[in-house]
Structure 1
Amino acid sequence: MRLIWNLFGLLGLLLVIAVIYAAVQLGPQLKNIGEFDSKALQTYAAIGKTLIETGNGPEATIWKMPVDEGLSAAEVEETMKFVANEHNIKNVGELPLYKEVEAISGEPSRYVKIFMFCNAMTAARMLDYSDAFSAYLPCRITMVEDTSGKLWLYTLNMDLMIHGGKKLPPALKEEAIEVKEIILDIMKRGAAGEF
């Protein structure tokens, strides 16, 4: 019986040492958590859930929408450009990746085209806050034909940029949320062919 009590005592001591070690190592960083956006935990939980479900890191950090059956890539593209114009967000570039693949390989390629949208003044304010936001610029929507021939729209999960760390200044956060809503509207209406 004494052996069992000694083992419990040893385990307790090891637990106390582990807690002290963790507090010393992580303590200074933990104070930053108090400055995080109120939706940070929710954002990381959603990313973690998708990561666990799919085992795919990129899949966990994007949003995707299926394109309605019967819509062509040209119809989706036309709709997305119309909606972007309606929201006064510029189409600043397009990369028809499938054409480049076909030119290099000499073989047909499934459709993959990247559309880049930007509100220059919001982008400038994001960069004034942190140069790391440049990796999110411009906002990209990719139209992808999957291996079964179905079209999908993909974009980065902007919640990570908006809610994933310390609180953004209120005006900047409001602008970032507005851009997120515009990109999602472009995708939603593009995927449905809704002018």
Structure 2
Amino acid sequence: MMGTVRNLFAIIGVLAVLAGVVVSPYVWEVKNRFAEFDAKALDTYVSMFRQVLETGNAAEATVWRAQVNESLSVDEVDETIKFVANEHNIKNVGELPLYKQVEAMSGKPYRFVKIYMFCNALTAAQMLDYSDAFAAYLPCRLSLVEDKEGRLWIYTLNMDPMIYGGKPLPPDLKAEAIKVKEIMLDVLDRGAKGDF
């Protein structure tokens, strides 16, 4: 019996050493790569991973959201979103009343969903000059969504991975990206509160 236990522990030991030999180069490479990234990269990804674990939904980890004050109507929130964006001099470059399109195509009523698109062309140009991949983030989007229980929510993209998720952005671009992030969070927050 003792010989069997000793052999079992020996096999486990050999497997652990083999796993260490196989895995350690990858761990070392990841550690070295992260050393080149923005100082907030690891915190950004850990936070997102926690949200994925908590919700089981990767999309939840890539957005910011705020529940709209229940006393506000869709029209009041719509007006506030536009007002706050205009106050920050971020241009409304388009709106998509998605619920209307769904109703037109399905012939059935659908809950309220409207997507707003905002852009500062000069900031967009800076981002594109750094990397054409930023085109996928343009323009900044914000969505007003009625959930299945009839509550209104405002969603926008979590910009932290774009700002902090890789090698540090050039200082001027990083400052501009943080400014856009702050604007979008202000539109989200004040839109949800109806705060002109």
Shorter-chain TM-score tier: over 0.9
C-alpha distance 174-4 of structure 1, shift in aligned 2 (>3 A): same
> Does structure 1 retain, via aligned residues, the 8 Å contact 2:34–2:42?
no
Superposed displacement of residue 8, structure 1: 3.5
More deviation, 13-22/52-61: 13-22
TM-score w.r.t. the length of structure 2 is: 0.92
TM-score w.r.t. the length of structure 1 is: 0.92
Superposed displacement of residue 29, structure 1: 4.9
SS at match of 2:156: strand
Q: Percent identity?
A: 61
Residue 19 of structure 1 aligns with an amino acid whose one-letter code is G
SS at match of 1:88: coil
Residue of structure 1 in register with 2:139 after alignment: 138
Alignment of 1:170 onto 2:178: no
Superposed displacement of residue 117, structure 1: 0.6
In 2, distance between residues paired with 1:6 and 1:166?
48
In 1, distance between residues paired with 2:34 and 2:180?
26
SS at match of 2:148: coil
Alpha-carbon RMSD:
1.7
Residue 155 of structure 2 aligns with an amino acid whose one-letter code is Y
Residue of structure 2 in register with 1:52 after alignment: 53
Superposed displacement of residue 3, structure 1: 5.0
SS at match of 1:114: strand
In 2, distance between residues paired with 1:26 and 1:46?
20
- 1:72-125 Cα offsets, whole Å, 9 max, x none, are 111111111111111111111100001111111222111000000111111111
Residue 156 of structure 1 aligns with an amino acid whose one-letter code is L
Superposed displacement of residue 6, structure 1: 4.5
Aligned residue runs from structure 1 range 97-116, under 5 A: 97-116=98-117
Residue of structure 2 in register with 1:90 after alignment: 91
Superposed displacement of residue 14, structure 1: 2.5
Listed as ranges, the gaps of 5+ residues in structure 1 are none
In 1, distance between residues paired with 2:77 and 2:151?
13
Residue of structure 2 in register with 1:23 after alignment: 24
Superposed displacement of residue 25, structure 1: 4.8
In 2, distance between residues paired with 1:25 and 1:36?
17
- 1:49-94 Cα offsets, whole Å, 9 max, x none, are 1111111111111111011112111111111111111111111110
Superposed displacement of residue 23, structure 1: 3.2
C-alpha distance 7-24 of structure 1, shift in aligned 2 (>3 A): same
Listed as ranges, the gaps of 5+ residues in structure 2 are none
Superposed displacement of residue 27, structure 1: 4.4
In 1, distance between residues paired with 2:7 and 2:110?
68
Superposed displacement of residue 178, structure 1: 0.6
Residue 38 of structure 1 aligns with an amino acid whose one-letter code is A
In 1, distance between residues paired with 2:142 and 2:83?
14
Aligned residues: 195
